[in-house]
Amino acid sequence: MLVICYGIPKSGSTLAYELVKGILKDAGYSQKRVPSIGVRPGRRGNYIAAMTRDAVADLVKVIGPDRIVAAKTHMEFSDDMFGWLEELQSTRKLQVIASYRDPRDMCLSLIDHGAEARASGRQGFTQISDLTRAANLIEDAIWRFRKWASLRGSLRLFYETVAFAPDEAIDAIEKVLGVTSDHDEVKRHAFEDAFTQKNKARRNRYHDELDETQKAEMLARFGPFIERVCGRSDEQWFTGFREQMLAPDKADLR
């Protein structure tokens, strides 16, 4: 089984990915690099090279039915792959795990990351220097998250659970993958041994770090996601979108 870990940037997605890897390693499934065209070259772990049908199909084929391997991505798949990915998931060849977080905190974390990248000369998010640019990136990523998370059978992991109640997250991951693991060993791997880009690792940063005008702007832009997804895990936000994706006369949903 291929486990695709999709995450909105700065949603704790690397931490979630490392929890998944830790669970699978402890359960006896090697997470060594998969020799597939679907894996990005030059990376230590299994990072998906391209979100295409050929790339995913090759990963599924190479992994086979007896292994379970996690791979990470921030990429979107094309609309015409939606039904095919659901079929893979229903036949246990694929499992999607999608990570999310309050957009206000993701934006603040992105700004921090951009400042650090510019100061160190590293690539990645160097263009993110203010709240508007961060919000533009997060808005696009939420669209991708909604597609991944609306596939029937996908597991959604909230940052607050992954970072601050990891045993609950581990339980959910174990259940969907059909494995068991030593929670202490998994947490040691994810929180101590693995590289997870922790940044400030605080909840509800926006309370203290955004002014009232900025808070109002963020609510105007992300209010439905904050209220329906982060606030109450509204299943209809996903199932309604899924129905539209599978409609024969589907229009552009963006």
pLDDT confidence bin for 51, thresholds 50/70/90: very high
CATH number for 220: 3.40.50.300
Q: Which two tokens stand for residue 37?
A: 């065209």
Report if residue 92 sits inside a domain.
yes
Host domain of residue 44: 2-246
Q: Which residue has the higher pLDDT, 58 or 44?
A: 58
Task: Report the candidate in 38, 135, 148, 50 with the shortest Cα–Cα distance to residue 100.
Answer: 148
Give the pLDDT of residue 43.
77
Range with lowest mean pLDDT among 40-44, 122-126, 130-134, 205-209: 122-126
Across the chain, what does the average pLDDT equal? 92
Q: Judge whether 192 lies within some domain.
A: yes
SS3 81: helix
pLDDT digits (tens, 9 = 90+) for 194-208: 876 555 567 889 999
End-to-end CA distance of the chain: 31
Task: Kindly tell me the burial class for residue 41, based on how many C-beta atoms sit within 10 Å of its own C-beta (0-12, 13-18, 19 or more).
Answer: exposed
Q: Which residues pair with 73 in a beta bridge?
A: 6
Task: For residue 151, give the 3-state DSSP assignment.
Answer: coil
* Residue with more model confidence, 4 or 254: 4
Q: Which positions ≥6 away from 81 have C-beta within 8 Å?
A: 51, 53, 56
Q: Is the pLDDT of residue 176 over 60?
A: yes
Residue 150: inside a domain, yes or no? yes
Q: Check residue 46 and give its pLDDT.
A: 96
209 is written with which tokens? 């770090």
Model confidence at 248, pLDDT cuts 50, 70, 90, reads: confident
Asked if residue 253 belongs to a domain, the reply is no
Return the amino acid letter for 206: Y
The answer, yes or no, to whether residue 123 has pLDDT greater than 70, is no
Is 251 a member of any domain?
no
> Is residue 209 included in any domain, yes or no?
yes
Give the pLDDT confidence score for residue 196 in this predicted structure.
62
* Residue 112 confidence (pLDDT): 87
pLDDT digits (tens, 9 = 90+) for 75-101: 999 999 999 999 999 999 999 999 999
Residue 11 · residue 106 · CB < 8 Å: yes
Instruction: Quickly count: other Cβ atoms within 10 Å of residue 117's Cβ.
Output: 16
Confidence check: pLDDT of 130 > 90: no
Which two three-digit tokens encode residue 228? 């329906």
User: pLDDT band at residue 236, thresholds of 50, 70 and 90?
Assistant: very high
- SS3 helix, strand, coil % of the chain, rounded to 5? 55, 10, 35
Report the percentage of the chain scoring pLDDT > 90.
Answer: 81
For residue 252, being part of any structural domain is answered with: no
Q: What total number of domains does the chain contain?
A: 1
**Is residue 223 included in any domain, yes or no?**
yes
Q: How far apart are CA 172 and CA 156, in angstroms?
A: 9
List CB contacts of 197: < 8 A, sequence separation 6 or more.
14, 113
What share of the chain in percent tops pLDDT 70?
94
